[in-house]
């Protein structure tokens, strides 16, 4: 597994800028559109569950689960960006992730933030 399997984020060509800050240096917020979110729920397959159980007995990183969580967070963020774009935003400010268990069958990941229109200024 390469480094791309354990990380995420935007490419330099992204048309909707996503930041975890309240503002973007060099830009001004010209319109606040409102809250947007991207949500996904993923279950782990049986092989992953068994492997994680065995690995937890001896310690160490659960690489299969790490990769699954990265993929899940990236999917939630892609959905967040789709929602922002559909509402006319070119930025999402104060983006955060929320992760929780979903009815003991999987992991729910929600990416959320404030959709806005920003301009150089």
> The dihedral of CA 76, 19, 6, 66: what is its sign?
negative
pLDDT at 3: 62
pLDDT at 113: 98
Element (H, E) at 111: strand 106-120
What are the residues facing 100 on neighbouring strands? 108
Q: Which of 4-13, 31-40, 42-51, 72-81 has the lowest mean pLDDT?
A: 42-51
CA distance 82 to 34: 14
CA distance 87 to 116: 9
Residue 10 has pLDDT above 80, yes or no: no
Mean pLDDT score of the chain: 85
Q: Which residues contact 7 (CB under 8 A, 6 or more apart)?
A: 70
Between 57 and 80, the higher pLDDT residue: 80
Contact 22, 93 (CB under 8 A): yes
pLDDT at 116: 98
Q: Which of 18-27, 96-105, 111-120 has the lowest mean pLDDT?
A: 96-105
For residue 44, the 8-state DSSP code is P
Write out pLDDT tens, residues 72-94.
899 999 999 999 999 999 999 99
Residue 45 has pLDDT above 60, yes or no: no
What are the residues facing 71 on neighbouring strands? none
- For the segment 37-65, the average pLDDT, to the nearest whole number, is 69
């Amino acid at each position: 597994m390469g480094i791309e399997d354990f990380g995420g984020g935007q490419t330099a060509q992204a048309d909707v800028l996503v930041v975890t800050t309240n503002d973007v240096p060099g830009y001004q917020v010209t319109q606040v559109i409102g809250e947007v979110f991207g949500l996904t729920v993923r279950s782990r397959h049986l092989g992953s569950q068994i492997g994680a159980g065995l690995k937890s007995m001896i310690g160490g990183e659960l690489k299969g689960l790490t990769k699954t969580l990265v993929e899940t967070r990236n999917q939630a963020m892609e959905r967040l960006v789709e929602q922002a774009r559909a509402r006319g935003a070119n930025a999402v400010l104060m983006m955060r992730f929320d992760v929780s268990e979903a009815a003991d069958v999987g992991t729910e990941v929600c990416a959320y933030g404030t959709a806005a229109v920003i301009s150089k200024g």
